[in-house]
Amino acid sequence: MSANPILTPERQPDDADAALRPKSLAEFVGQEAARDNLRVFIESARSRGEAMDHVLFFGPPGLGKTTLAQI
């Protein structure tokens, strides 16, 4: 007996959504104030030659917190 594809779907690659996510702050749409602040934090850490301090993103779902964190 063959498996029913509805009950046993094929696993999709984990990186399927990676093609849709922006790769840089310039590609990120929205959250201008957060992007500007984050850009300052990143540039200052680079100029000091240190790792950036911890940043906490919070808010309701759908604002781009995970996407910003991955950039």
In the structure, what pLDDT confidence band is assigned to residue 2 with cuts at 50, 70 and 90?
low
State the first-to-last Cα distance of the chain, in angstroms, to the nearest integer: 46
* 24-69: pLDDT as tens digits: 999 999 999 999 999 999 999 999 999 998 999 999 999 999 999 9
pLDDT at 6: 75
**Cβ(40)–Cβ(53) below 8 Å:** no
**How far is residue 10's CA from residue 16's CA, in Å, rounded to a whole number?**
13
In this structure, the number of other CB atoms found within 10 A of the CB of residue 64 comes to: 19
In this structure, the number of other CB atoms found within 10 A of the CB of residue 1 comes to: 3
pLDDT at 32: 93
* Assigned token pair, 46: 């680079």
The structural domains of the chain, with segments of one domain joined by +, span 23-52+62-71
pLDDT of residue 15 exceeding 90: no
pLDDT at 8: 75
pLDDT of residue 1 exceeding 60: no
